[in-house]
Structure 1
Amino acid sequence: MTNREVPRMVRKVMFAGLIVLAGCAGRPEGVLVPSGEVAPGVSTVDLLVATTRAPSSQPGVLFSGERGSELAVSDIVVSIPPDDKRKVGQVQWPKKLPADPMKDFSTVSVKPIDGAKAADGWLGRNLPKSRRVLIFVHGFNNRYEDAVYRFAQIVHDSKTDAAPVIFTWPSRASIFDYSYDKESTNYSRDALEELLRAAVNTPEVGEITIMAHSMGTWLAVETLRQMAIRDGRVPKKIQQVILASPDLDVDVFGQQMRAIGKDKKDRPNFTLFVSRDDRALTLSRRISGNVDRLGQINPAEEPYRSMLENQGITVLDLTALKSGDRLNHGKFAESPEVVRLIGNRLIDGQSVTDSEVGLGERIGAVALGTAQTVGSAASIAVSTPIAVFDPVTRRNYNDQWRRLGNSVEDTTTTAVGQ
């Protein structure tokens, strides 16, 4: 990047930041002040929330973006408006407080729990008959309440048959703090491992799914890697790993997968949600040495397709899917079809390697494995196995990216988003 390009890029990031801040300007602070009551006709989601954030003294904020000294755990119940009052895939933030539970997401109760090991009591009360647990790790640029309400929306809209747990790490919720947030994920690896081990060691728990988004995928995969190195393999109860818009260097991901387990029988099933029009990952790629981000690959083209060894990782390409997200970075949560796929198939451990994923007309399958594109009109069921990413083989492919015009010049409203 030339000296002339640097100021231009900074201006674009600042412009994007103003847009993001403007979008949040009407949102009141303190939405996690509990109402203590459930309005007739609303739905509720009971979440176990674990965090490495520092406590906040501000009522209804609970935790800041700074790093805490220990893992803090809470039981939070969120109220969601009736389905005929809201759009699936969206969080209805209150414009003023107290929230109107018939129109807005609102907080019913907040109860501190004494550490991850004490969470087995919550799991015992909230485990469904499936005995499944879903643990979500949010992405970059998220406040504590952002993570809680977004996960409540995903749980409600996906109708998942699993006890919902969220791990929220210290994010300053600013596009100018990308490096701080990345280091905060590293800071939180041991705490996430503590939470995972607490769930694994709860006798009532049958199986665990981990779902992570954006920068949170780094934290999730790194934690699994360190567990595999420590124990020789990832605990068997952790059966599904879903990585949505993974902000991961593809070279590093290849190394991580080797440490987690070369043979798919010795590791969880991995599913990736990717989108080649993800503007947030375009910027992340630019500031990370122009190495491809895992969430932007095209699994049906070279060099990735030829490098895919039989690791059995499923890839769902959401490029053709349209959403209200300006950055195309949160499609997995905003698309009604995708959140239902998460709840009805992926968390249940069902295969989506066939083309009957319920998201559109069957088109066909690619010869090597299957390549899956999810769109409003059609879907190709894709389960391309992702394995080792060889930087030498990929050099020619980088030229293709440049010809496609995937540059920051085309993303005037780009930020590395939530």
Structure 2
Amino acid sequence: MLRYIIFVLTAATLAACVDRTVSQTVPSALDIGTPKTIYAATTRAREADGSYGYRRSDQLQFLEMTVSIPPNHTPGTLDFSYADPDPENQFVMADEDELAGPQGLASRLRGVDEVSIFIHGYNTTQSETVFRAAQLEHDLEIPGETMVYSWPSQATGYGYAYDIDSMLFARDGLEQTVRQLKSMGVDRVILVAHSMGTALTMEMMRQAELREPGWSHRNIEGVVLIAPDLDVDLFRSQMDSIKTLPDPFIVMISRKDRLLSISARLRGTAKSERLGNISSADALSEYKISILDTTAFNSDAGSSHFVAATSPALLAIINSARRVSSTFGRQRGIDVIAPAEVRNPTGATEIELTETGQAKVSSP
């Protein structure tokens, strides 16, 4: 345990030597790379230099960004630089446009019927979130448009406590973002959250449900929680407040997620488990959710805490399933990774993905 804490603190110290708030905009990168449009809703305060850092804002701001994806990009990788980016080999911010409120966003999304919102985790800058969303959209060929909800993370290894407060602060902004999209006529809003961002997502749905029972099911067409840094008892309490879940509702876990093990140990949690690395789904059996076990791809992934985005093998399997399903017109979007026909209609479904592409389905 001590060596893990030393490792984390060392990494935080090294990261502090790099100015992660810097993100150069290089329009000429589009002469080399493939453009990808990413929208953003943010509760980060805008700084004097035009950047969006860790300070909190009561005003929700919308932006449109264009990312250049390098021609030699390999699925599952995310290479970028905080200064002097190389468009031949790295993701590069090519353009950033601050939109004129909800009206400006609505003009960009006219006719769009599906938007996936990516909610980042702890220790993340806005540009890092945008690059990750662009990588996921590109590698998974996500339908519709992609948006990030950029909440005010301090983006430092030692800023965990600040980020927890910021995550709670950001609940209203995320709810407002969903409401704005639905008012613009977007039919399908999908929430894809990672790590601490999953706590934000659950807290947002819980507060909306307390005011308007059934709100989540009426406004959100799917939820994916990736490596959730959530206490299981807390998750159960949040779930009990949501009378009708969005469908599908997917929890992606890896039982070899080392960062979640550290998070659990620092909290003194029994078995050193968080929701994202649970060893048994028995405590979740009553909820109509799909628990997608990606442990088999841990060795292939660039990060044990983000297997879904950094495992080339897993990305290839998901894309293959999507193409086959699309050919026969059966599933769309996230339904591919947890098909309705295999889900338990009365409770949880465990789907263990194997390296051969086969899925073992069971009910806890």
Bucket of the pairwise TM-score, normalised by the shorter protein: 0.7 to 0.9
| Partner of residue 162, structure 1 | 144
Question: For 1:105-116, what aligned pairs fall within 5 Å after superposition?
Answer: 105-116=91-102
The one-letter amino acid paired with 2:295 is T
The CA deviation at 1:158 is: 0.7
Aligned residue type for 1:87: T
Structure 1 gaps of 5+ residues are 1-7, 357-364, 386-418
Q: Which piece of structure 1 moves more, 246-255 or 30-39?
A: 30-39
Is the 1:245–1:296 Cα contact (8 Å) retained in structure 2? yes
CA distance in 2, matches of 1:369, 1:293: 17
Distance (whole Å) between structure 2 residues aligned to residue 251 and residue 355 of structure 1: 29
1:279 aligns with 2:266: no
Q: 1:115 to 1:339 in 2, by over 3 A?
A: farther
Larger mean CA deviation between 236-245 and 289-298 belongs to 289-298
Decide whether aligned partners of structure 1 residues 251 and 143 sit closer, same or farther in structure 2, where only a CA change above 3 A counts: same
1:87 aligns with 2:63: no
Structure 1 match to 2:355: 376
Q: Does 1:68 align with 2:20?
A: no
Q: 1:202-221, aligned counterparts within 5 Å?
A: 202-203=184-185, 205-221=186-202
Conservation of the 8 A alpha-carbon contact between 1:353 and 1:381: no
2:244 pairs with 1:255? no
What do the CA deviations read for 1:263-316 (whole angstroms, capped 9, x no partner)? 55xx44210110111111111112234153110113xx4xx337512x321111
Deviation at 1:334, TM superposition (A): 0.7
Query: Cα RMSD (Å) of the superposition?
Result: 3.0
Tell me the distance in 1 between the aligned counterparts of 2:92 and 2:171: 30
User: TM-score, with normalisation over the residues of structure 2?
Assistant: 0.85
Aligned to 1:35: 27
- String of CA shifts for 1:345-367, please: whole Å, max 9, x gaps: 673534625999xxxxxxxx9xx
Structure with greater proportional helix content = 2
Give the direction of change, closer, same or farther, for the CA distance of 1:284–1:104 in structure 2 (3 Å limit): same
2-structure distance, mates of 1:306, 1:53: 36
The structure with the largest alpha-carbon Rg is 1
Cα displacement string for residues 393-416 of structure 1 (whole angstroms, at most 9, x for unaligned residues): xxxxxxxxxxxxxxxxxxxxxxxx
Q: How does 1:287-366 map onto structure 2 within 5 Å?
A: 287-290=266-269, 292-298=273-279, 301=280, 304-305=281-282, 308-309=285-286, 311-323=287-299, 328-339=304-315, 341=318, 344=322, 347-350=333-336, 352-353=338-339
**Residues 54 and 240 of structure 1: CA distance in aligned 2, closer, same or farther (over 3 Å):** same
Give CA-to-partner distance per residue, 1:21-68, whole Å, 9 cap, x none.
54786787632424266215x311111111111223446xx1112222
**Cα distance, 1:119 vs. partner?**
1.8
Aligned residue pair count = 348
Q: 3-state DSSP class of the match of 1:185?
A: helix
Deviation at 1:378, TM superposition (A): 5.4
- Correspondence for 1:361: none
Task: Find the aligned partners of 2:237 and 2:147 in 1 and give their Cα distance.
Answer: 28
- Could you say if the C-alpha distance between residues 65 and 108 of structure 1 is closer, same or farther in structure 2, counting changes exceeding 3 Å? same
> Residue 229 of structure 1 aligns to a residue in which SS?
helix
1:16 aligns with 2:3: no
Question: Does the 8 A contact of 1:315 with 1:372 survive in 2?
Answer: yes
- Contact 1:32/1:145 (CA < 8 Å) preserved in 2? no
